[in-house]
Amino acid sequence: MRTRGRHEDLRRTSLPIWLCLTALSAIGLIAFGIWHLAGMQTVSGSVPFVAYWIPVLVGSFGIQGVWQEWRYVFRTSPGPRDWLYQHVWHMCGTGVAFHTAFLVFGANRMFGFRLRGAWGLVPWILPPVVGMWLTARYIRRLRSADSSRELAIEQARP
């Protein structure tokens, strides 16, 4: 909120360092998952094969988030309400993380069911995919309403 009028101030904070660390962590997650997926034919254990897709997917979502944030921070001239779109994206991302955590950990304890095999990926994948799609759609509607409002104001001027 302090930098919404001067987004270039974000470049002088520790945010770029945290974005780089987040990207490295996401790349590490992807590498971990791929390494285990590639060697799973010879490794046996209690972890099912499909479970190693989870770090690959979570790391991919992390890379996408870092890329979006990086583009905002280093944009030369953002729109007057771009800070709001970023804020909405992050708030909805928090909701997606909450729903994912509940479906993965809380639902099986609360309702006593557990998805087996590849179905175990559904609680990990469904909330981020649906949440990102709905959030992007909502932000597009916000942008469209803002541009319509700006156009109406501009046409009303003598």
Domain boundaries, the chain: 7-156
Residue 22 confidence (pLDDT) = 93
Output the 3-class SS for 40-104. Answer: CCCCCCCCCHHHHHHHHHHHHHHHHHHHHHHHHHCCCCCCCCHHHHHHHHHHHHHHHHHHHHHHH
Residue 17 confidence (pLDDT) = 92
* Residues of the chain falling short of pLDDT 70: 1-5, 40-49, 151, 158
Q: Structure tokens of 34?
A: 């791929």
Residue 1 confidence (pLDDT) = 56
